[in-house]
Amino acid sequence: FLKSDYLNEDSWAIVRPTNGAFTLFVALHTCDTVSAYGFMTDDYSKYSNYYAEKRLGSEVIFYMNHDLILEKNLWKSFHNKKILKLYQRTGSKGAKEQ
């Protein structure tokens, strides 16, 4: 599911899914229904790196070891196909399902 272009780089050995991605994959394999909150969505730049931060704190930094955009697109496609329920923020306050 996560065949990143980074795997074709010289530093391919450090490329791996995030811990959150491993967790979602385990949940998808073992549970009848899966809902996820706090994962990167299309409007990620409006929010902190950590979902628990109430104010804009730490920005998302893209390192080569994780392909966060690839993961974001995968969660969105799973949500659209009703494979999982991805809760997405729609504004700067609170969280709403999209």
- For the stretch 41-92, pLDDT in tens is 888 777 777 767 766 677 788 888 999 999 999 999 999 999 999 988 665 5
From the list 39, 45, 28, the residue with the least C-alpha distance to 76 is 39
pLDDT surpasses 70 at 98: no
The backbone region for 76, taken as left when phi is positive above 0, alpha when psi lies in -120 to 50, beta otherwise, is alpha
Q: What share of the chain is helix, strand, coil (3-state, %, to 5)?
A: 35, 10, 55
In one letter, which amino acid is 19? N
Q: What is the pTM of this model?
A: 0.77
What's the whole-number mean pLDDT along residues 27-52?
Answer: 84
- Look at 46 and 1; give whichever has higher pLDDT: 46
Tokens 């995968």 belong to 74
pLDDT (0 to 100) of residue 37? 87
In the 8-state DSSP scheme, what is residue 37?
A: E
